[in-house]
Structure 1
Amino acid sequence: MTDPRPTTPRLAAATRIALADPRDLLNRLCDHLAEHVPVERLGDGALFRADYGTARVEIAGDALTVALESGDDTGLSFLKLIVAEHVLEFAGGQEPAIRWTGDGRAAGEPLPYFREMRVASVTHVTPRMRRIVLSGEDLGRFATGGLHVRLLFPPPGPAAPQWPVCGEDGRPQWPQGAARPAARVYTIRHIDVRKGEVAIDMMLHGDGHGHDAPGAGFARHARPGDIVGMTGPGGSVIGEARRYIMLGDETALPAIARQLETLPAHAEVAAFVEVADAAEEQPLTSAARLDLRWLHRDGTGLLERALRDHPWLGDGGEPPFIWAGCEHAQARAIRRFALKEAGLTHDGCHAFAYWRRGAAGDDARED
């Protein structure tokens, strides 16, 4: 009999990567990615499953063969990027060649997950938080698949911005030298696909006198019509549970606010948000039963202490899902307490470094 159910067309790409020790690299891939996605070991290979597709990796003599499948061009590009970055990271000083065949965009073509955006409006949410509404085309892909995007800020000057394009190995190929845009990760606070708009809440770091971070400088001086690049989406979404403890500072506040709006009425949420002072508090809403506490920063690890003291960790009820976004050291302390002392599982605790004291950009998020 013929299966009457419609099938979704799948895009496929493949590569063969010569390595000195392909088995060691496969094991490293499995150990690392198992913390983030389901991994199935299959003899001399493994199958990795992500929301946007699958990657089958197998040992073939002195090489790894990789076969990718995804439902769209963006998902396939994400898979190529993830494979290339991790293979190069774990290759132990080797520089293996990675060249993809099959579906997907060729080297030098625009990234399928890139959009050029223009500022539509700028408003203050609090004295230190500005909401930048960006307008662009074909934003449907940004409504699913993660909360976060990477904004690309072109260097000042009259020259037209230069944006990254597809590289041969699946990673973005960036403009060189002074033409390279600065990149920072932000949360989509709101998205309206029909209007072609996304709202990004951005912290005003720095002093406004030439000592701003790239994103803060853009937010401070943004005017309607200004151009910025956007790639994404990415980042995990909150897990399913009956009880949640959410913790974060101003940098994670847009993510906390957006996730609160998605939770169902039967859920209970204890949310702790660390801000500079009362002026930085803002209304947050949720259909869930919400206990919201604002913590005014005093440098004593308020978020970790709030988690340690919360009665849900010792009341004998269903373990809460822990979500945290904050400075690197605090995020590590929260994750360590939740996993080692409170006995929660990796699936029940997501603690992210949204920034790192003394570091900038992607370096701030590295463990």
Structure 2
Amino acid sequence: MTTAVAAPFRFFSLQVVRTLRIGPSLVRVTFAGQDLRYFFSGGRDQSLSLFLPHPGQDAPAVPFELGDGWWQGWRELPDGVRAVMRSYTLRTLRRDPDEIDIDFVLHTPAGPASAWAAGAAAGDRVVLLGPAVADNRAIRFRPPAGTDLVVLWGDESALPAIASILESLPAGQRVRVWLETHEVGNVRELVTAADAEVTWVVGESSVDVLREARLPAAEQPYVWIAGESGCVKALRRHFVGERGIDRRRITFVGYWRRGMSEEQLREAE
């Protein structure tokens, strides 16, 4: 059974179909389920909430039968029972058959989501809170009309979003991309029709690299930065204060914060 929550989002009961190691610290998990016929997304940096079971559980405990009261009901479940909730980006949506891909970073030491992804196998059950309409507020990449330069920055957590964004951009759109990874094996060729230059920074912070980079002249630039919160804030200050870009033309998203779990970050917010 699937319960609608608040349009344009709803819960989806899914199962793992297969997994694929796409880098030393990256694994792609493919999910399927009858509910996906109601899943619609315009792609780009589509954000999702994924609910995972604890070790020993057959399925994640999410009281979505409570409708709009699911959040309070979920919070009230005991710590060892309440499903692990993590935010991820949709990598790919396919039809016939209906499937979605989500890419996971395998951290060391592993947190609960990273550990789950490392051991995921066909048939494993999850619950997803995702979009029921293609254009929804969980898509943040929205360059204004007339944008003549797109600048993207992200760490490994933002790689799926940046890859999807690049695939969505039209031919001729100028794009400059900086991607940070700890493993050279995670570096890959990204597909796009746009006029894109992609710079990978391996094993070091890319914040200073981007600060010192020369950008092409542009009258209407648009900046999208996502990843570790401290780096995101530093780069936003850089683009506004040092490059003079209108803050309304900058989208910034903190996917995670160094030294804090997602539960701690959620409580802090």
**Could you state the TM-score of these two structures normalised by the residue count of structure 1?**
0.63
Tell me the residue number matched to 1:227: 125
**Structure 1 equivalent of residue 55 of structure 2:** 156
* Alpha-carbon distance, 1:171 to partner: 4.4
- 2 CA distance for matches of 1:172 and 1:199? 29
1:138 aligns with 2:39: no
- What is the alpha-carbon distance in structure 2 between the residues aligned to residue 350 and residue 362 of structure 1? 24
Match of 1:189 in 2: 91
What percent identity do the matched residue pairs reach?
A: 28
In the TM superposition, 1:7-18 aligns within 5 A as none
Q: How many angstroms apart in 1 are the aligned matches of 2:174 and 2:39?
A: 30
Question: In structure 1, which of residues 217, 231, 234 is the aligned counterpart of residue 115 of structure 2?
Answer: 217
Matched residue, 1:77: 6
Q: 1:290 to 1:187 in 2, by over 3 A?
A: same
Q: Which residue of 1 aligns with 2:134?
A: none
Query: 2:154 — aligned with what?
Result: 248
Q: After superposition, where does 1:75-154 map in structure 2 within 5 Å?
A: 77=6, 113-139=10-36, 140-144=38-42, 147-154=46-53
Alignment of 1:239 with 2:146, yes or no, is no
Structure 1 pair 78–358 and aligned structure 2 pair: CA distance change class (3 A): farther
The one of the two structures with greater contact order (alpha-carbon pairs below 8 A, sep at least 6) is: 2
1:340 equivalenced with 2:204 (yes/no): no
* 2:187 aligned with 1:258: no
Cα shift readout 1:27-52 (whole Å, capped 9, x = no counterpart): xxxxxxxxxxxxxxxxxxxxxxxxxx
Where do 1:323-334 residues align within 5 Å? 323-334=224-235
* Cα RMSD for the two superposed structures: 2.5
Aligned length: 253
Match of residue 32 from structure 1:
none
Matched, 1:279 2:185: yes
Report if the CA contact (8 A) 1:304-1:330 is conserved: no
Is the 1:164–1:173 contact (alpha carbons within 8 Å) kept by the matching residues of 2? yes
Give 2:73's match in structure 1, choosing from 164, 167, 173.
Answer: 173
Q: Is the 8 A contact 2:224 2:250 kept in 1?
A: yes
- Whichever residue aligns with residue 244 of structure 1, its letter is V
* Superimposed CA distance per residue, residues 2-40 of structure 1 (whole angstroms, 9 cap, x where no aligned partner): xxxxxxxxxxxxxxxxxxxxxxxxxxxxxxxxxxxxxxx
Deviations 1:127-178 (A, max 9, x none): 1100000012233433238611111011122555421323666845216102
Looking at structure 1, the residues matched to 63 and 174 of structure 2 have their Cα atoms a distance apart, in angstroms, of: 43
- Whether contact under 8 Å (1:77, 1:170) holds in the other structure is no
In the alignment, the residues of structure 1 paired with residue 77 and residue 231 of structure 2 have an alpha-carbon distance, to the nearest angstrom, of: 35
Q: TM-score, normalised by structure 2?
A: 0.84
Question: Any stretches of 5+ residues in structure 1 without a counterpart?
Answer: 1-72, 80-111
Secondary structure of 1:284 counterpart: coil
Q: Give 1:297's aligned residue.
A: 203
The offset of 1:258, in angstroms, is 0.4
Aligned residue for 2:256? 355
Computing the radius of gyration from Cα coordinates, the structure with the larger value is 1
Matches within 5 A, 1:21-32: none
Q: Cα deviation per residue 1:293-336 (whole Å; 9 max; x = unaligned)?
A: 110122xx423541442233xx3x32321111121111001111
Distance in 2 (CA, whole Å) between partners of 1:253 and 1:201 is 9
* One-letter code aligned to 1:296: V
Question: For residues 125 and 168 of structure 1, what CA distance do their matches in structure 2 show?
Answer: 37
Structure 1 contact 162–180 (Cα < 8 Å) conserved: yes
